[in-house]
Amino acid sequence: MNLALLAKLWWKIILDESSLWSRTFKAIYPKWDLHYKRKAKAPGEASFFWKSLVKAAEVFRKGLVICIGNGESTEFWDDPWLLWQGKPTTIRGLCEMEMVEKLKVCEVIDRNAQQWDSQLLKEMVPEPVVNSILQIPIRHNSFEDSVKWNGSTNGAFSVKSAYALAMVEESSSSSGQELDLCFKKLWKLRIPASLQLFIWRVFNLALPVGEVLDKHHVMGDLECTWCNKSYETHDHLFFGCEWVKRVWFFSPVNMVVQDRAGWNWGQWFHQ
């Protein structure tokens, strides 16, 4: 709960600039990095309170999402303006891009047509990411980019939602780190780019299986196309279906899927 309460202070410091607390804090620590888009850093001489506040900043940043207005103040690659599987994320984080040119979101918007430049997007990022971007509505260019809290329905910060986010992050941090390592290995493998993209889509649960189609209200058969018995999910398609289990067993890897029940995607990838 302490991190959630401290995260609330970040909301006041960064986004409520007119408050007495925000003005006082910035006056005391004028040289410290208080930018909400970047990872906060505490200098060596920082107090225990400030170091604790830096830890809370990670919870704060995980729940922030930038709402695109004119796109002029938002970095395309490095700012959290895209929701992926319901969570704010950066394009660089999704695509594991390293050396890329600075690019503002406004540069991928066709203002004459008042829509996203889909052709340009397709040249830069994978199709699943393009599709997610195209779902973001374009506002009039008189609107500036703004920030909202993704953990609540009204976009305002709440301690309760921050606490829930902190608990989720704590429980998923180990598996998340494992996946990050997997992705770094994936992009270095000497395999066809189409296969890399397919594996990336599997790990991001972005294949058009029944579960995903149902979530997006796409009409069609939601059952497994192999066994015609179960609801088609990523887990079922690759490990749960009885037909697929036989494929694994008689394949060159000769794997018994039941022996690996409960594994996460990172462990599967390592194998």
pLDDT in tens, 190-214: 888 888 888 888 877 788 888 888 7
* Structure tokens given for 119: 């052709």
Phi, psi (degrees; rounded to nearest 5) at 241? -65, 135
Mean pLDDT is lowest, of 110-124, 158-172, 222-236, for: 158-172
pTM of the model: 0.56
Comparing 262 with 80, the larger pLDDT belongs to 80
Does residue 243 surpass a pLDDT of 70?
yes
Percent of the chain residues past pLDDT 90, beyond the cut: 9
Mean pLDDT is lowest, of 6-10, 87-91, 188-192, for: 6-10
Q: What is the mean pLDDT of residues 67-86?
A: 87
pLDDT band (50, 70, 90) for residue 110: very high
